[in-house]
Amino acid sequence: MKLNRSGAAISLLAAGALLLSACGSDNNVAPSASSGGSAVAPAASVTCDGKDNLAAEGSSAQQNAMASFVAAYQAACPGKNLAYTASGSGTGRKQFIAGLVDFAGSDSAIKTEEATKAATRCGGGEAWNIPMVIGPIALAYNLPGVDKLVLNADVTAAIFNGGITTWDDAKIKALNPDAKLPSTAVAPQYRSDSSGTTDNFQTYLGTASPTVWTQGAGSDFKGGAGQGSKGSSGVAQAVGATEGSIAYIEESFATQGKLSVARVDNGSGPVELTTDNVAKTINAAKFKDDTNNLVINLTSVFGSKEAGSYPIVLATYEIVCSTGYSADVSGAVKAFLSVAANQGQAGLADSGYVPLPDAFKARVTTAIDAIA
């Protein structure tokens, strides 16, 4: 997943024509290598209320999805527009709290102190997290002669905290008995900038391998091994240039860089990264509670041992005010998100995302409708 942390904005300059400005480190427009093809989302009726021009900011992981959402919004509501600035999840949350954008895109749910500040911005109303964009995190590697690498959570954790230092380590061999693993040094690559991808990846390791990964989670990499690069594109470039390297990056960057991607064994056998296998994981996901603040219970995702499910996924949220918007803003936010959850899902698989499963989408739609 995708693009530019330098403040690139998405806007539509003419009806039906999408301009995606991508001037920074995470430039990606590559199609996905996942199976499954494009999802065909039904056209949903939408009331095109509210102001003509919305502004949102945050996660670069969802920027390509936002391009699709904006195009669908323009088609459903001619004359309406949303400008999205891909500055990173943390910046997006800060801009939302400050009232400088109408909603934020974030790879992590807003919580604790930030949620309290957001409630002040929302006139006392709760800030809701609405998961709108879902995609897989790939374990991309550069190991000539090894085409079908299998990893599990314990081995991956040991690679990224320095516990495994060569590719012919016995633990890697045990998962790959038929592979010709070289004695090449393992060169982990990670995000040097604060990243929701890092947060989700480290949360996965802590959930699926708690005895090996004891470093904790968070937006900054805590493994202590390897080399950092800024942005997903920077990490992908480092993997492509460094034999023996491995990194956690959004799938589209692995595709764009023509990088090999490991299969992941969650305890039920090796699973290839495909749209269908990621969708199986999302279908089994649970929310933390029954409210319209749709925070995903990540243990239900990262700890899944269901056969055929790919466990390392990134769900990114749109952070909105449940109440407290002016009528002009509320109407436009609801219209945009309604289109994004329906017509906007078409074609997301071709950009490395997983369209929202039906049951999941039903909860999302209910939350959108409840925005006051």
Q: Give the pLDDT confidence score for residue 88 in this predicted structure.
A: 84
CB 1 within 8 A of CB 251: yes
Cβ-based neighbour number of residue 76 at 10 Å: 20
Same domain, 14 and 98: yes
Same domain, 88 and 168: no
Is it the case that residue 47 has pLDDT exceeding 90?
A: yes
Tell me the per-residue pLDDT of 152-172, one tens digit each, with 9 for 90 and over: 999 999 999 999 999 999 999
Residue 175 neighbours by CB under 8 Å, 6+ apart: 150, 151, 152, 155, 265
Tell me the CATH number at 220: 3.40.190.10
Same domain, 173 and 272: yes
Query: What radius of gyration do the chain's Cα atoms show?
Result: 20
Same domain, 297 and 256: no
Q: Give the pLDDT confidence score for residue 33 in this predicted structure.
A: 33
Q: Helix (H) and strand (E) counts for the chain?
A: 12, 16
CA distance 313 to 300: 12
Domain limits for position 89: 8-135+290-304+313-370
Count of structural domains, the chain: 2
Residue 214 neighbours by CB under 8 Å, 6+ apart: 206
Same domain, 173 and 196: yes
Residue 292 neighbours by CB under 8 Å, 6+ apart: 128, 322, 366, 367, 370
Q: Which residue's entry shows tokens 């470039």?
A: 237
Classify residue 139 as left (phi > 0), alpha (psi -120 to 50) or beta: beta
- The two structure tokens encoding residue 209: 């391998």
User: Do the strands 286-287 and 296-297 form a parallel or antiparallel pair, or are they unpaired?
Assistant: antiparallel
Same domain, 259 and 325: no
CA distance 106 to 196: 7
Same domain, 102 and 36: yes
Query: Does residue 208 lie within any of the structural domains?
Result: yes
User: Do the strands 81-86 and 53-58 form a parallel or antiparallel pair, or are they unpaired?
Assistant: parallel
Query: Does residue 281 lie within any of the structural domains?
Result: no
Query: Does residue 145 lie within any of the structural domains?
Result: yes
Share of the chain above pLDDT 70, in %: 88
Query: Does residue 1 lie within any of the structural domains?
Result: no
Tell me the per-residue pLDDT of 218-250, one tens digit each, with 9 for 90 and over: 989 999 999 999 888 899 999 999 999 999 998
Cβ-based neighbour number of residue 98 at 10 Å: 11
Higher pLDDT, 288 or 347: 288
Tell me the per-residue pLDDT of 129-157, one tens digit each, with 9 for 90 and over: 999 999 899 999 999 999 999 999 999 99
Same domain, 110 and 155: no
Buried b (16+ CB within 10 A) or exposed e, 102-131: bbbbbbbbbeeebbebbbebbeebbbbbbb
User: Could you write out the DSSP letters of every residue in 39-61?
Assistant: --PPP------S-SEEEEEE-ST
Region 45-65: mean pLDDT is: 92
Q: Give the pLDDT confidence score for residue 171 in this predicted structure.
A: 98
User: Could you write out the DSSP letters of every residue in 314-329?
Assistant: EEEEEEEESS---HHH
Same domain, 173 and 235: yes
CB 188 within 8 A of CB 246: yes
CB 104 within 8 A of CB 321: no
Same domain, 21 and 38: yes
Same domain, 19 and 123: yes
Query: Does residue 217 lie within any of the structural domains?
Result: yes
Tell me the per-residue pLDDT of 308-336, one tens digit each, with 9 for 90 and over: 999 999 999 999 999 999 999 999 999 99
Q: What is the mean pLDDT of the chain?
A: 88
Query: Does residue 285 lie within any of the structural domains?
Result: no
Query: Does residue 3 lie within any of the structural domains?
Result: no
Query: Does residue 75 lie within any of the structural domains?
Result: yes
Region 79-89: mean pLDDT is: 94
Same domain, 156 and 248: yes
Tell me the per-residue pLDDT of 88-112, one tens digit each, with 9 for 90 and over: 888 999 999 999 999 999 988 999 9
Region 50-61: mean pLDDT is: 94
CA distance 66 to 348: 10
